Copies of this chain bind each other. A is one copy, B any other.
């Protein structure tokens, strides 16, 4: 089987896009279905064409590359992402990693690298330019500290926090009630109130939130 891979490229420089396209299409199964020059157009094109892979420049008008990825996640647009950037900025890199971007390539890299990155990502692996190895190795120290506190987390009351901590440990309302000496209904009411305050919906969203933020409870 030889399914051609639908690729979208986004960069605000037409000449760079052209070079990128030429490079990518040296590989016959890679097909660039669209070029976009700004973030909004990129997002539109992703919704419309459902590409398998997006190669996004960070610096773009309207929406930058990472903002596009955030929108993709919010709108459940499933496509692999490779971020292209000119500079080695640690914050930018960490933000991309937090968004679970699969590829991160410096523009200074050899043209060969972008092809390698595409192949690796489409094979389910990740590809990060070696120039960023330093960031990758020291990431643990950095990314944990500078994460901004979620909006709404500070609006939780003490009882709610107490319960959320136990939710993060995968406890049911009944178990939590037993442990805290409350009625299961009270715990359920707190759950409901937290869902409203945090503006999360769905049966698992509160658990997910609790799990993501358990270090800050």
Point out residues on A near B: beta carbons under 8 Å: 76, 97, 100, 110, 112-113, 116-117, 120, 125-131, 133-134, 136-137, 139-140, 169-170, 172, 202-205, 207-208, 211, 214-215
Subset of 29 A-B contacts with CB under 8 Å: A100-B214, A100-B215, A110-B112, A113-B130, A116-B130, A116-B131, A117-B130, A120-B130, A120-B131, A120-B133, A125-B134, A126-B133, A126-B134, A127-B131, A127-B133, A128-B130, A128-B136, A130-B130, A133-B136, A136-B136, A136-B137, A140-B140, A170-B202, A170-B204, A170-B208, A172-B202, A207-B208, A208-B211, A211-B211
A100 to B215 CA separation, bound complex (whole angstroms): 9
Residues on B with beta carbons closer than 8 Å to the beta carbon of A133: 120, 125-128, 136
Contact of A110 among B110, B125, B204, B208 (CB under 8 A): B110
